Amino acid sequence: MATPDNNSAILLSLLQALSGLDKNFPLPYAVFLLEVARNEGCSLGDLRKATGMPLPTLSRMLWALSTKRQTGAEPYGLIEQDYAPDNHRRKVIRLSAKGRRFISRLNAIIDQTAA
């Protein structure tokens, strides 16, 4: 059974892993990333419903987590986007190979710390 101390240790380990990507990795980016991991192939509209964040904010996060950051810093490359095969106006969002490795690392932290 999980204890408050164990839950805190898990959360701290996860936050440290996120900080390993970037010491200033924004928490909303983590929410975006985890929602994509839970629902690969989702759209920005799906993410808006799941997170309650506005579409312009989600769009900026999409670019930062995939191929381009507003600050000019190196993009994270954790997700990729493509057009839906059945609707070329709709983009689908999924984890990149790097994103899958990172989510696997987070899952390993949870498994290891929870054991």
- What pTM value is reported for the model? 0.85
Is it true that domain 4-114 has CATH number 1.10.10.10? yes
Q: Could you tell me where the beta strands, DSSP code E, fall in 1-115?
A: 79-84, 87-95
Q: What is the pLDDT of residues 15-51, one digit of tens each?
A: 999 999 889 899 999 999 999 999 999 999 999 999 9
Domain residue extents for the chain: 4-114
